[in-house]
Structure 1
Amino acid sequence: MGWISEIPDSEAQGPLRQIYDAVKAQRGKVARILGAHSLDPGGLQHHLDLYMHLMFSAGPLSRREREAIAVTVSAANGCAYCVAHHLEALRCYEKDEGMLATVRDAPDRLAAPRLRAMLLYARRLTVSPSTMDEEQVGALRAEGLTDAEILRINLVTAYFNFVNRIALGLGVEADAQEVAGYAR
């Protein structure tokens, strides 16, 4: 639980009950970040729809790439909650702990040029958005990324900046029990 009141799963009714039940059926349990929205079920549903589209729908980026963006952005923002969740998800696609640490802490040191370019774009958009220019998009195109892929990189980056601020601004925290056990 964070710094504001929440409606726990055991007390959810109406639209919130429906959302919680759907999330549990699909993901196995309700993440704390979703519980933080419980006072606004309509907002929660829109947030969840955007998350499912950006992270799980068929699209121009792999799940591995999307999760890597989530980790890099969340680390740049100092959002331990999202780093923990999405590093765990990334482990489903990447077993090398050194690589995982590099994605989190030093994406500029990645050996894979495509992923490095993606994560450097995401990190710069996160920490210095006013310095973005066409040159950053050109660096992605130089690695063979299409405009549809660039758009998805941008959207996933923007989404995690949004979610990081929800978690940080409302005191949403994760522990090992919170992070484990989601259907990926």
Structure 2
Amino acid sequence: MSWIKTIDFDKAEGKLKSLYKRVKGPNNNIDNVLKIHSLRPHTLEGHMFLYKAVLHHSGNTLPKWYLEALGCYVSYLNNCEYCLEHHFAGLKRLLNNDLRSNQFLDALKNDELNAFFTSKFGSGVAYTKKLTLNVQEIKEEDFTALTKSGFSQGEILEINQVVSYFNYVNRSVVGLGACTKGDILGLSPNQNDDPNNWGHS
């Protein structure tokens, strides 16, 4: 469900149908975050290339749960309930620990993530917050702080891209009025070694 017109799997044709076949979940389910691209399938294709590369690629070296956690934080900061619900469900599945997952959610909502993580991962949280809410204030010192905390430059790029992606998708979802009605929460393209496999499971 969304404000913008969307096309369901069984009504899709041509390029849209072929993309839907690549991204579908169980019972041909297409998440609303993807269906909002119905009228311009090429933007769905671009979205999925970016999403898979940034969050679900074997070339990443940071733990996927940490990248998901940063995505949840960006979504919370942007008041994007849609993405927060989806990616918190994904984070819970990755952590496989309900207590730890709920502690994370409490820390997120109380703005205490720096205390929740180690000092290294906490510095990534501080960068995430500043890049999301005060991008005009980002300076070289913010980058340097990440290297001093122990992140490699490649890992900093991973953090930067996750934060940038979630700011993009949050604005897509909020701006087009997508909600989770009809979605299956927590599905994602999990075949990390195959960048062309977009199937959601």
Question: Do the structures match in fold with TM over 0.5?
Answer: yes
C-alpha displacement of 1:99:
2.2
Alignment of 1:50-65 (within 5 A): 50-58=50-58, 59-65=60-66
- Give the CA deviation at 1:25: 6.0
**Identity value in percent:** 31
- Measure, in 2, the Cα distance between the counterparts of 1:62 and 1:129: 25
Alignment of 1:78-97 (within 5 A): 78-94=79-95, 95=97, 96=100, 97=102
Distance 1:159 1:21 in 2: 23
Any residues of structure 2 matched to 1:12-161 within 5 Å, and which? 12-24=12-24, 29-58=29-58, 59-94=60-95, 95=97, 96=100, 97-103=102-108, 105-106=110-111, 107-161=113-167
Conserved? CA contact 1:73–1:160, under 8 Å: yes
1:64·1:93 contact (CA, 8 Å) conserved in 2?
A: yes
Q: Deviations over 1:110-131 (max 9, x none)?
A: 2422221111111110000011
Higher helix share: 1
Deviation at 1:77, TM superposition (A): 0.4
The Cα shift of 1:105 comes to 4.4
Given that 1:72 and 1:105 are in contact with CA atoms closer than 8 Å, whether structure 2 keeps it comes out as no
Query: Contact between 1:37 and 1:43, CA under 8 Å: does it hold in 2?
Result: yes
The residue type equivalent to 2:164 in the other structure is A
Unmatched segments (≥5 aa) in structure 1 = none
Q: CA RMSD, aligned part only?
A: 2.0
1:78-132 per-residue CA deviation (whole Å, 9 max, x = no partner) reads 0000000111111022321112332454223324222211111111100000111
The residue number in structure 2 matching 1:180 is 185
With over 3 angstroms needed to count, the CA separation of the structure-2 counterparts of 1:181 and 1:56, relative to structure 1, is closer
Structure 2 spans left out of the alignment, 5+ residues = 188-199
| 8 Å contact from structure 2 (residues 74, 129) kept in 1 | yes
Any idea what the Cα deviations from partners look like across 1:46-89, whole Å, max 9, x if unmatched?
11111011111111322111101110100000000000011111
Give the structure-2-normalised TM-score: 0.84
